[in-house]
Structure 1
């Protein structure tokens, strides 16, 4: 692309749309080479943490917190049932 950013010429050369070239340049300028990697279909938790955006890091932390809450709620439920069972067995 050099410095003149001739999107039309690049689009013709690589047989892609003008918009595609524009998007590639935009991603490259904002995230560097890692911005050009195809991450479609990859779960956030399976990607390299250093490549995640701040929004993706926050989303991952939120997902992990929700999973932890779900596990703790299940554990709490089981402990209550165990306590109830033990209390009934003693009587």
Structure 2
């Protein structure tokens, strides 16, 4: 986040930068903490509705894709991601 930036503004900016998608930010669905070099990263996850754009990978990723639940379970993911999404009722349908 940039100094003085709200969560909504940060989510909107980061999604455009990292995925090419413009969104309307919705409710907070959950949060996690991950170790960081100087403490802990606090990550807040929000429900979003895509309003425009074409999905693309940002400069720190090799690919981006919309996937169903079965495909998600075959992909390498960060430890705890799928469990958190499941707990928050945010897994893709199907």
Greater relative contact order (Cα < 8 A, sep 6+): 2
Higher strand fraction (1 or 2)? 2
Indicate whether the TM-score tops 0.5: no
Q: Which has the larger radius of gyration?
A: 1
- Indicate the TM-score class for this superposition, using the shorter chain for normalisation: under 0.3
* Higher-helix-fraction structure: 1
TM-score (structure 1 length as normaliser):
0.26
